[in-house]
Copies of this chain bind each other. A is one copy, B any other.
Amino acid sequence: MTVEPGAAAEPLARGGGVALWRQIFGEIEREIAAGRYSPGARLPTEQAFTARFGVNRHTIRRAMEELEAAGLVRVEQGRGTFVAEDVLDYRLGTRTRFTEVIRRQNREPSGRILRVAEVPADAAVAAALGLGRGRPVVKADRLGLVDGRPVLVGSHFFSAVRFPRIAAELATDPSVTRALAAGGVPDYRRRTTRVTARMPTPEEAGLLQQSRTRPVLATETVNTDPQGEPVEAGWSCYAAGRVQIVVET
């Protein structure tokens, strides 16, 4: 497909002292600010912009480069260019609760329990909770959402002996905080958080609604009661493009 010079192209001030790519940069910047393209949405292709503005692809790419440097868009080879989403800061502290962390950013948290089951503790769970291997624990798989979009999925483990009714609690209310309160632990503290990166399982990618080729932030956490006794251990993963873990020291 060829485009006649200037045919149906938007008016750009050629030779007016302002470089073409700067004008295009400003135009797209304004459109994003105006909400014409919403966060996470795919922008038109470079090809399409080339036709729209009647310029060479290099010129479009120069503008895109600057838009990316300014943090307004994210360019992915083979996929397209996307309007940057505001990344959520997941701030870690001694009182780290999903709901509170999200609310503090003026976003709306929600959760959904996917599955609750009583299982024997494997080596890792046993070590984290300070139990013997094979002791009964309650495993709760949970999806965490922010403004309706999934951002984290993971499994929480609790001693089935200390919290005999927690499976039933969680089945009716996805809040870990309230489930622990009902089990006699009105307050708890985050003891450790270990963070690493890995590729998601197909199931995780599906639940997080993200590509299987994009990595996730994987965490291992331990929460204790005020006496320092572990009450919950969790293995979660976060959609890396939508969340950033922040540590202030």
Contacts and interface: CB of A to CB of B under 8 A. Distances in A.
Interface of A: 69-71, 87, 89, 92-94, 96, 122-124, 189-199, 213-217, 240, 243-249
A240 B195 CA distance: 9
A70 B245 contact: no
A194 to B, nearest CB: 5
A247 B190 CA distance: 10
Nearest to A221: B247
Contacts of A248: 191-192
Contacts of A69: 122-123
A189 B69 CA distance: 28
Contact of A193 (B123, B124, B213, B249): B249
A196 B96 contact: no
B123 A245 contact: no
Nearest to A199: B215
Given A249-B92, A249-B93, A249-B96, A217 B195 contact: yes
Contacts of A199: 213-215
A104 B243 CA distance: 30
Most chain B Cβ neighbours within 10 Å, of A94, A191, A192: A192
B195 A247 contact: yes
Contacts of A189: 249
Given A69-B123, A71-B123, A245 B194 contact: yes
Nearest to A220: B244
A215 B213 CA distance: 10
A246 B192 contact: yes
A133 B190 CA distance: 38
Ranked 8 nearest A-B pairs via Cβ? A215-B215, A197-B197, A197-B240, A197-B215, A195-B245, A193-B247, A94-B249, A197-B217
Contacts of A71: 123-124
Contacts of A195: 195, 217, 244-247
Contact of A198 (B96, B191, B196, B240): B240
B197 A246 contact: no
A65 to B, nearest CB: 12
A89 B196 CA distance: 10
Given A198-B215, A240-B196, A190 B249 contact: yes
Contacts of A215: 197-199, 215, 240
A107 B243 CA distance: 31
